[in-house]
C-alpha cells in the first residue's frame, strides 16, 4: 500500500485471487448519478491517496479455501502484517487438505501477492486514469448509502490489472466492490477466470472482506476459491487529510476511450 491506497492493493488481491475462479451477474441500475465520470474518478483517486498515506500498519487473518470438481479441497490460514508504505508479511498458521492444491494453487497465490507489492507492479496497477479507462454506468443503493457503478477497462494487458465493474461509495469514494476478470490470464494453469471482491470499512479505511472466484484449472478442473479476511487490527494510523481535488488528476487526463 503506499500513497496509492488500500484499494490499490486490494484490487491486486482481487485479480490474484482470480488465479482460480466465475461470479454472479451485475444488477441493473436506473437511478441518475449526481456526479459525472470525471468527478467520481477525481474524488476516488484523491481519497485513495489520502487513505493510503494515513494507514501505516495493520494485521489481519486471511482464510483461504479451495475446492475442485474432483472432490479435492484445501484450507490455509495465514496471519498477515502490513507496514507502510510497501511491506507485507504473511505467516502460515495452519493448513489442511490436498497438498497438491496447497502447492500449486494456494502457495502460488501467496507468492503472486508478494510480487504485486513490488514498486513497479504497484505503480502499474493503481486504480487511476494512468492505468484504466473509466465509464460511469450506474448509480444504485448499496446498504444505507448509494454507490457509483463504474466500468473499468485496463489500458494494457497485465495479470495484476482488472477488467469489469467497481462500486464506489458516494460518501467517501472508497471502492466497496469489484467484479470482473484479470486483464491477462495470470497463469497457464487457469482459464475462464472471473472474480467478485467485496470490501468492508474498518475505521476510516476500506479493506478486503471476501473474495470469491471460479476458474477452470488445468489438472484440477473447475475450481472455486474463497478468501475471507477477518480480525483486522489497525496498529498505526494517521488522520485522513482532506484531499485537494485539483491535484488528483493531471491536466488533460483522459478517462474514457475515444
Nearest to 44 by CA among 255, 257, 232: 255
What are the C-alpha distances in Å from 231 to residues 61, 92, 107, 152, 208?
6, 15, 22, 30, 12
3-class DSSP assignment, residue 18: coil
Has residue 258 been placed in a domain?
A: no
**Could you read off the pLDDT of 90-104 as tens digits, one per residue?**
999 999 999 988 888
Has residue 145 been placed in a domain?
A: yes
Has residue 126 been placed in a domain?
A: yes
pLDDT at 193 (0 to 100): 83
pLDDT at 254 (0 to 100): 55
pLDDT at 44 (0 to 100): 97
| pTM of this structure | 0.82
Has residue 1 been placed in a domain?
A: no
Which burial class, exposed, middle or buried, applies to 124 when counting CB atoms under 10 A from its CB (0-12, 13-18, 19+)?
middle
The pair phi, psi for residue 114, each rounded to 5°, is -70, -40
Q: How many domains does the chain have?
A: 1
Has residue 242 been placed in a domain?
A: no
Has residue 188 been placed in a domain?
A: yes
What cell does 244 get?
A: 485537494
Residues 6+ apart with CB under 8 A from 221: 68, 69, 70
CB–CB of 60/233 below 8 Å?
Answer: yes
Has residue 255 been placed in a domain?
A: no
pLDDT at 19 (0 to 100): 41
pLDDT at 115 (0 to 100): 75
Domain with 81 in it? 6-234
pLDDT at 144 (0 to 100): 87
Dihedral sign (CA 173, 258, 182, 186): negative
pLDDT at 243 (0 to 100): 82
- Angle (CA) 110-111-112 rounded to 5° is 90
Has residue 257 been placed in a domain?
A: no
pLDDT at 186 (0 to 100): 67
pLDDT at 256 (0 to 100): 53
pLDDT at 132 (0 to 100): 97
Whether the bond between 85 and the residue before it is cis, its omega within 30 degrees of 0, is yes
Below-50 pLDDT ranges, the chain: 1-5, 9, 14, 17-29, 247, 250, 258
Task: Supply the CATH number for residue 184's domain.
Answer: 2.50.20
pLDDT at 242 (0 to 100): 81
Amino acid at each position: 500500500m503506499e500513497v496509492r491506497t488500500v484499494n490499490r492493493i486490494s484490487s491486486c488481491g482481487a485479480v490474484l485471487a482470480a488465479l482460480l475462479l466465475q461470479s454472479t451477474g451485475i444488477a441493473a441500475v436506473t437511478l441518475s448519478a449526481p456526479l459525472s465520470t470525471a468527478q467520481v474518478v477525481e474524488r476516488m483517486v484523491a481519497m485513495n491517496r489520502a487513505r493510503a498515506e494515513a494507514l501505516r500498519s495493520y494485521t489481519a487473518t486471511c482464510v483461504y479455501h479451495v475446492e475442485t470438481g474432483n472432490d479435492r479441497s484445501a484450507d490455509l490460514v495465514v496471519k498477515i502484517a502490513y507496514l507502510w508504505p510497501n511491506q507485507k508479511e504473511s505467516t502460515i498458521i495452519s493448513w489442511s487438505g490436498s497438498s497438491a492444491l496447497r502447492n500449486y494453487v494456494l502457495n502460488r497465490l501467496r507468492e503472486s501477492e508478494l510480487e504485486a507489492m513490488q514498486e513497479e507492479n504497484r505503480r502499474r496497477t493503481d486504480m487511476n486514469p494512468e492505468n484504466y479507462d473509466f465509464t460511469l454506468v450506474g448509480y444504485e443503493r448499496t446498504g444505507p448509502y448509494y454507490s457509483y457503478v463504474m466500468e473499468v477497462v485496463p489500458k494494457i494487458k497485465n495479470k495484476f490489472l482488472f477488467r469489469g465493474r467497481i462500486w464506489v461509495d458516494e460518501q467517501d469514494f472508497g471502492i466497496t466492490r469489484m467484479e470482473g476478470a484479470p486483464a491477462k490470464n495470470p497463469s497457464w494453469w487457469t482459464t475462464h477466470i472471473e472474480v467478485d471482491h467485496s470490501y468492508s470499512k474498518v475505521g476510516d479505511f476500506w479493506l478486503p472482506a471476501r473474495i470469491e472466484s471460479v476458474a477452470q484449472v488445468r489438472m484440477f478442473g473447475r475450481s472455486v476459491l474463497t478468501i475471507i479476511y477477518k480480525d483486522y487490527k489497525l496498529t498505526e494510523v494517521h488522520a485522513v487529510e482532506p484531499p485537494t481535488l485539483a491535484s488528483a488528476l493531471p491536466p488533460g487526463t483522459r478517462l474514457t476511450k475515444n
